[in-house]
Amino acid sequence: MSLYQICFWVLTVMALGCALGVILSRNPVSSVLFLIATFFAISGHYLLMNAQFLAIVNIIVYAGAIMVLFLFVIMLMNLNADTEPQKNRLVQLAGVVSGGILFLVILAALRSSSVNVLEQTPTDIGLIKNLGKTLFTQFVLPFEISSVLFLSAMIGAVVIGKKEEVA
Amino acid sequence: MQLLQVDIWFIIEKLVLITVILLGSLGIAMYATWGERKVAAVMQDRIGPARAGLFGLLQPLADGGKLFFKEEILPDRSTKFLFIMGPALAMLTACMTSAVVPWGPDYVTQTGRVVSLQVADINIGILFVFGVVSLGVYGVMLGGWASNNKFSLLSSIRAASQAISYELAMGISLVALLMMTGSLSLREIVSQQHGFWHDGYFTWNFFKQPLGFLIFLTCSFAELNRAPFDLPECESELNMGYHQEYSSMKLGFFLFAEYINLFISSAILATLFFGGYNFPFMDQVAASVSPLLFTIICVLVLLTKIVGFILFFMFVRWTLPRFRYDQLMRLGWKSLIPLALINMLITGIVVLWVIK
């Protein structure tokens, strides 16, 4: 095994293990922390593919900003195991059945499709210069449209968050 | 099975460099606590620490020793693991940033070997610093929450929202700088500020981005949780803030991480805006002294700038009163972010103009 493969397997185990931890842990705060660890593992995978910019942006945006806000909300709501609403058996059964069906559908879809094997050799496309050139020439329209989408989401949040005027 | 095909000297060199930088930043942070008390004393017409050693120079050691021997208390209703993670994370993120700062120019030995005084010259340089800084808030948040104390929780929430609000303006003011340099690598940014005067204008970025520098400086006050933005540690409202429940060296880690952050952000400020290790007439100096001496002079110049910034941070802390929380938020969102955006726009126009 080369160093590359060792890193790959360690990161993969870490990503999957932490992702499982997100859904299996009872305490919402530790769920969030597992999710942050998952993001780190994914950033590690980006690094292995020589996509340094994506790796660090993933950490800054997701781990550094979005998850802080998540943690924020969860801490303020102060969720504990005691206050968690107890679900009855029927709801649990329905959850298992619908989850299982979704799993089957995904499995069937994966079986019938041909999976493209990603290139193993690291390329330079993930470096910031190449990435910027590609984004602002080849993909400039989708890039700008998605930024408009974010702007509209932001304005929407402000509108919803604003106190209603007393009529 | 071939695992490591790297030069063994390269590893030794980097290990030595990492050790020196870590010990150096710990040492400087240690004496920054002493310096802070002396500065406070001077500004309040007192003497300050004077008993331990000459000028109280052994005071930081005495403080450290005291913290080590204090009783370690884990609050009964706290989340134990996270309670210990908090200070550890704060310390870890504080120590990580120094990896990308170029501490001096490359030193070429007689055998032609190039020794770089930077641990890692990564392609994304300054973004790495940003990533680590944005993680720094977790130490405070987790520590405050795990303490199971309402004051700590309020304080950690203040710290988090403050950090997120000011990161935005900081990032945008940095974008303006990066538009001019065209590179994210700190080494590249420093080498573009070579000397002091070139082609009829200053080379240091401070003279090209004065507004950007002011915004960045203000935001670093907020990111450091220092006065006038030390709302998370506001004694009159929150007792001790997020480290209310901490004792012994865990408290020490929180306090110490703050001083390491102070050192590192001074280093980043000096590197980004004040030319890093560059100084006026450096070419003439380089021609007249040996390469080793020149490298040492460069490192000393950078350290002088860093100490200057640390002193500035301290003077401000003991001069300005604390902001109110709504004032802090208004300053961040309604003044600094629009200013940073305007600065970015103007920079973009000027950069395009110059290129055309």
ipTM score: 0.77
B1 falls in which pLDDT band (50, 70, 90)? Answer: very low
More confident residue, B39 or B195: B39
Name which residue leads in pLDDT, B323 or B355.
Answer: B323
pLDDT of residue A85: 63
Domain of residue A6: give its range.
Answer: 1-86
Residue B285 has pLDDT above 70, yes or no: yes
On whether residue A101 sits in a domain, the answer given is: no
A59 touches chain B (CB under 8 A): yes
Task: Name the residue type at position B60.
Answer: P
DSSP code per residue over B144-187: HHHTT-HHHHHHHHHHHHHHHHHHHHHHHHHHHHHHHH----HH
- Is the confidence at residue A86, as pLDDT, over 80? no
Alpha helices in chain B (DSSP H): 8-43, 59-69, 80-96, 125-146, 150-181, 186-192, 205-208, 210-223, 235-238, 248-273, 282-288, 291-317, 325-330, 337-355
Nearest in space to B103 (alpha carbons), one of B303, B309, B317, B282? B303
Of A1, A65, A72, the CB nearest to B157: A72
Hey, how many other C-beta atoms are within 10 angstroms of the C-beta on B177?
A: 21
Residue B228: is the preceding peptide bond cis (ω within 30°)?
A: yes
A37 SS3 class: helix
Portion of chain A with pLDDT greater than 90, in percent: 20
Mean pLDDT score across all residues of chain B? 82
Local structure of B201: helix, strand or coil: strand
Nearest alpha-carbon partner for B312 in B257, B265, B260, B252 = B265
- Residues of chain B neighbouring A56 (CB-CB closer than 8 A): 124, 127-128, 130-131
Nearest CA-CA distance, residue A104 and chain B, Å:
38
pLDDT of residue A38: 92
Of the spans A11-20, B114-123, B129-138, B161-170, which averages the highest pLDDT?
A: A11-20
The pLDDT-based confidence of A167 (bands split at 50, 70, 90) is low
What's the whole-number mean pLDDT along residues B47-55? 80
Residue A99: which pLDDT band, with cuts at 50, 70 and 90? Answer: very high
Token pair belonging to A142: 């989708």
pLDDT band at A83 (very low <50, low <70, confident <90, very high): low
Of A128-132, B169-173, B257-261, which gets the smallest average pLDDT? A128-132
Q: Do B141 and A53 touch (CB under 8 A)?
A: no
Mean pLDDT on B27-33: 87
What pLDDT score does A122 carry? 59
Cα–Cα distance, B261 to B265 (Å, whole number): 6
CB contact under 8 A, B157 and A59: no
Which of A1, A65, A75 lies nearest to residue B134, judging by beta carbons? A65
Lowest mean pLDDT among A19-33, A104-118, B248-262, B330-344: A104-118
What is the C-alpha to C-alpha distance for residues B316 and A36, in angstroms, rounded to an integer? 35
**What is the token pair recorded at A115?**
């999976």
Residue A37 CA, chain-centre distance (Å), reads: 11
Range of lowest pLDDT (A89-98, B105-114, B346-355):
B105-114
Is A164 within a domain?
yes
**A135 & A75 share domain:** no
> How high is the mean pLDDT of chain A?
82
Angstrom distances, CA of residue A73 to CA of A67, B81, B254:
10, 21, 24
Residue B166, pLDDT score: 86
Q: For the residues B297-315, what does the mean pLDDT come to?
A: 88
Name the nearest CA neighbour of A63 among B138, B327, B127: B138
Measured in degrees and rounded to the nearest 5, phi and psi for residue B197 equal -140, 125
Q: Is A53 inside a domain boundary?
A: yes
Size of interface A-B (CB pairs under 8 A): 68
Of B209, B136, B224, B226, the closest CA to residue B172 belongs to B209
Mark yes or no for CB contact B123/A65 under 8 Å: no
Q: Residues A11, A79: one domain?
A: yes
pLDDT of residue B145: 82
Nearest to B141 among A57, A59, A71 (CB): A71
Q: Quickly state the pLDDT bin for A165 (edges 50, 70, 90).
A: low
What pLDDT shows up at residue A166? 59
The pLDDT of residue B224 is above 60: yes
Which residues, other chains included, contact B322 with Cβ-Cβ below 8 Å and sequence gap of 6+?
Answer: B227, B228, B229, B230, B231, B234
Single-letter amino acid, residue A49 = M
Query: Domain check: are A75 and A145 in the same one?
Result: no
Question: With the CA atoms of B130, B131, B136 and B142 taken in that order, what torsion angle do they form, in degrees rounded to the nearest 10?
Answer: 150
pLDDT (0 to 100) of residue A78: 65
**What phi and psi, each to the nearest 5 degrees, are found at residue B237?**
-110, -30
Tokens of B123: 């392609």
Q: How confident is the model at residue B4 (pLDDT cuts 50, 70, 90)?
A: low
CATH code at position A31: 1.20.120.1200
> Which pair of structure tokens corresponds to residue B264?
């590192």
SS3 category, B281: coil
Q: Is the pLDDT of residue B146 over 60?
A: yes
Among the three residues A86, A106, A133, which one is the final residue of a domain in this structure? A86
Phi, psi of B114 (to 5 degrees): -95, 120
Q: Given its phi and psi angles, is residue B76 left (phi above 0), alpha (psi -120 to 50 degrees) or beta? A: alpha
Residue finishing a domain among A33, A63, A86: A86
Residue range B149-157: mean pLDDT, rounded: 82
Number of H helices, E strands in chain A: 7, 0
| A2 and A61 both lie in a single domain | yes
- Residue showing tokens 């974008």: B175
Task: Provide the CB-side half-sphere exposure for A68 (13 A, CA).
Answer: 27
d(CA B36, CA B50): 13
Q: How confident is the model at residue A54 (pLDDT cuts 50, 70, 90)?
A: confident
Q: What is the mean pLDDT of residues B156-161?
A: 82
For residue B302, what pLDDT is reported?
86
Alpha-carbon B315 to chain mean position: 17
Q: How many CB atoms lie within 10 A of CB A54?
A: 21
Q: Does A72 touch chain B (CB under 8 A)?
A: yes
- Between B124, B134, B156, which is nearest A128 by CB? B124
Least confident among A81-85, A141-145, B194-198: A81-85
Question: Is A118 part of a structural domain of the chain?
Answer: no
CA distance A82 to B317: 44
A92: distance to nearest CA of chain B, Å? 29
B168 → chain A, closest CA residue: A65
Kindly report the pTM of this predicted structure: 0.82
The values of phi and psi at residue A119, to 5°, are -65, 135
**pLDDT above 90 (res A148):** yes
Our count of domains for chain A comes to 2
Whether the CB-CB separation of B340 and B169 falls below 8 Å is answered with yes
Q: Report whether pLDDT(A124) > 80.
A: no
Nearest alpha carbon to residue A47 among A130, A122, A116: A122
Structure tokens, B104: 């001096």
**Percentage of chain B modeled with pLDDT above 70:** 97
* Distance, CA of A32 to CA of A41 (rounded, Å): 14
Exposure string of B92-130, with b = 16+ CB inside 10 Å and e = fewer, is bbbbbbbbbbbbbbebeeeeeeeebbbbeebbbbbbbbb
Asked if residue A165 belongs to a domain, the reply is yes
